[in-house]
Structure 1
Amino acid sequence: MQFSSFLQTSKSEYYTTDYYVPSDYDSQIPEICDVRNIQEFSKIFQPLVQSLVFLIGISGNTLVLLTYGFAKRIKSMTDIYLINLAVADLLLLLTLPFLSISAVKGWVFGNDMCKVVQGVYAINFFSGFLFLTCISVDRYIEIVRAVEALTIRQRSIKYSKLITLTLWLASVLLSLPELIYSQSKPHDGLYICKMIFPEEVTGTIKSMSNFFQIFLGFVFPFLVMVVCYSIIIRTLLSGRSFRKHKALKVIISVVMVFVIFQLPYTLVTFMETTDFLGSHQMSCDIRKSKDIAIIITSNLAFTRCCLNPVIYAFVGVNFRKDIFLLLKNFGCISRTTYARCCGSSRDSRTSVMMDTNSFIL
């Protein structure tokens, strides 16, 4: 399964009335498989969910960028990664209007826009997960190895810019199949946007694309999160900071949200990639269930773009203060209101271990 599954979910290969041919088809008449009810569900469900995700995600990630631009100093590698994560999420969210329209009317934007939308989605899919992974590693360094982190903080910010550039370049390279092979093609009177591989490279390129999507889209960041946050939790439990319990809640939320919103789609992708369901021999009912699962889980995965600003930024006390500072700087609230909401500028930052910037505090 490629990234194009998002674009062609509602215009699958079973667009109108499909035929399920059993393995012993020589002795049986093909069973008619009517999937029009799935198409109607997709036409309602996808635009509704994607519109909500688009509005909330654009607002949240834009606020993250505005806060860093006008009210918050960049003090750590995590700040750099959060900015780039917000950019990646914003660019990915900009593909949603195209997907919503495609779910209702088919792909009406032409072949060049098919490549652009597929490519932009793929680039920011990969970059988003790579930046999440970097945030996990940086939090480990800042909390578990706090003394060393203080001594290299200025140099680490310079390193993070080089790392950021490398991650974006890697994301572009990983997205080359979408940029090269995506095209708009007619199907049952409508156009769909999908990757179409030459016959001589179909198996290899498609398998590699699916492997990288599964590995870099879930397995690798999940393993890094589990290792880094397990060590962080053990370190926090051994400390005496009164902010320990809040930090633990944030960490658990990070992992839980990642698993809840990404695991279902990863499982569906894995089953398609390995032909786990025996797609050539599955019954009509199972095929319908699979199509509905793809529609629901793919849109569920999009929702994470809305939650990233909440989990990695807005949940933090310091970041909320920065938002109020941004509102004060823009004249939206008075100095009195700002002082009442945020208190003294000398508000506590209890220890080096817990000075983890916007992520935990």
Structure 2
Amino acid sequence: MVEEAIETFVEAQGLWFAVVVLAAGGLILVAFVEKLISYLTRAAVGLGISVFSLAILFTGFEFDDTILALVFASGGLEDAALGTALGTALAVVGITLAVAAVVRPFSVEIPTDYLALMVLSPLILLPLVLLGTLSVIHGIALLAVFFAFLAYIVYMEHHRDVPVFRDTDLVERVETDGGVETDGGVVHERLEPILEDRFVGDLSYSGYVWIGLAVVALAGVVVGSVLIEVGSEVVLEDTGLEETTFGATVLTLLLTFENVLLTLEPVRRGVPEIGIGHVIGSVVFSVTGNIGFILLLADLNIGSSVLYFHFPALLVVTALGASFIASGRIRRWHGLLLGGLYVAYWIAAVFVLGGVPIAG
């Protein structure tokens, strides 16, 4: 795998090079997340479609987590692969949404059927978890569920009388390179210019151009995430912290940095629907598509801790996060509660189960 080859190369260069790779990954990630948000908003305006559906399509897929899970699965570490999938679903609400709420409380309106899908998606796993052993057939079924979810979102956004954040509202509220008030504050009559506008010229009104650039930006996000993952793992390994609780905590925070940016930055710039689209898409993908891809490579034996601990925790945190989103206003105490529950889950996993849940 490419990621393994990169990690081997970084390890051979020593600790200093791993630190450089980690820092470079962070800079690349921040830069391309900024670009991705700008491109998605322009694509939505140009195509006259919902930016929410574009956000789910572009940011709901956890490419880096899937790569990591496939590496684990192909190497015979199926339990670690499953832990990555469930850990991401938990972290995207317990860390990502929590951080956004604490740093920048915001208002958002998301249809209840989308939130219902977010809450129900983990329940799809329940009958499979009860089976004990999952195979490629179950993986295909989970992948089918995920793509059906995507199709439903696209269909509903196209046919709703008022899609989630379509072009007119988007142009009024979004700011390209700075935050805006989302509750009746400063608005803009048009999108703020960016450097790329000069290069695309008359094509700047074509949504397809921005879709293409969004794909490039998404690739940059994935590259940045992989570099952070590789750099952090080598640093922790070389410093002897890899197997410690502290090391696992640092690694989880670094691996969720991408998710935090993809949620917090849209909120800061007045496009909270992109951030919430990322949260909903990531949760659904992690418990359906991600596990589905794992099962294409290896069977999974579900341990009792998944059924009696990790799965209930996922249900509680997801349902609570969805209820906060449904209220229309994400408040600071919402974030503190979600974050507190995630910390409690983490502590229980360490001291009761003796294992540290790693999120991607």
How would you bin the TM-score normalised by the shorter chain? Answer: under 0.3
TM-score w.r.t. the length of structure 1 is 0.26
Bigger CA radius of gyration: 1
Please identify which structure carries the higher helix content. Answer: 2
Higher relative contact order (CA 8 A, sep 6+): 2
TM-score w.r.t. the length of structure 2 is 0.26
